[in-house]
Amino acid sequence: MAKKKKKGGGGGGGGHDTAGGLRWLLTYADMITLLLGVFIILATIPTQSKEQLTKLGESLAKYFNVLEGPGGQKILTEKGGQGMLEKRTVPHGRSHEPTTASDIKMPLIQAFHADIKNKKVAIEETKKGLVVRFRDTFLFDPEDAVIKPEAYYALNKIAVLIGNKPNYVSIEGHTSSASEKGIFRSSWELSARRATAVLHYLCDHSREKGFSEQAMKSLQERLSATGYGEFHPLNPDAASPVNRRVEIIILHQKVKGKDLLLE
């Protein structure tokens, strides 16, 4: 009888103890998952900008419900961490929010370093957005609206950049005086044709690179072309060559559904 009890107790008790003993694996697995997430965050920190790090800290504080206690002490509330998966509605690495000018500026400066040095290209951050300014002689022959083949590489760089960003892009043509119109009726037509030529080039480049129909439609919705003629000079001297230019403006405050002309 004692032998039977021992056998039953050993078998049943052993099975129960085994199941109970394995419960620590659940806690261990959760801890390893959290540590993996922390290490991934730490590994990506050196590649993040100051603004991105600030947003990361705010997101972590929000999702983990970190509150500031007396003396600046951080407190993790009971509901911290809830809703982390539910909140992610955009695939990792993608965003529908416009990219800020500061995030685009440095890559552009590096890409156009030689052209900036030779004063063919200028890059300027404004309230409206990031302006990439091309001298007209870099893109076009005098009184012409056909893009020079030697300028293709520069526009290719712009096409790649804006194809991967959700920002709206305004392409603006400028001339220096009415005498520059050539075969065109006025400097408005010349500047508008130049801006439109750049727009079509950017679209054609993306199409050749295999953009889907949906991606092309999204790109076309974000592009616009305007001709200002001679009436928005950079230099008060109407004949100054710096006034003859094409500007590609990557807007950082415009989102779908808003009129591009309204500020």
Confidence band of 18 (pLDDT split at 50, 70, 90): low
Residue-wise DSSP of 178-214 = GGG-TTSSSHHHHHHHHHHHHHHHHHHHHHHTT--HH
* Angle subtended by helix axes 213-222 and 152-163, to nearest 10: 100
What count of residues does the chain have?
Answer: 263
pLDDT value for 33: 86
What average pLDDT does the segment 166-189 reach? Answer: 87
**CB 245, CB 122: distance < 8 Å:** no
Closest listed residue to residue 227, CA positions, set 136, 123, 159, 101: 136
pTM of structure: 0.61
The rounded distance, in Å, linking the Cα atoms of 232 and 114 is 27
Domains of the chain by range and CATH? 2-87 (no CATH), 101-251 (3.30.1330.60)
**Cα–Cα separations (whole angstroms), residue 110 to 36, 116, 118, 224:** 34, 9, 14, 26
DSSP 8-state assignment for residue 71: G
Long-range residue pairs from 50-57, CB within 8 A, at least 24 positions apart, any chain? 51/100, 51/102, 51/103
pLDDT digits (tens, 9 = 90+) for 67-113: 444 444 444 444 444 443 333 333 333 445 666 766 788 889 999 99
pLDDT digits (tens, 9 = 90+) for 20-62: 567 778 788 888 888 887 778 777 766 656 666 666 666 666 5
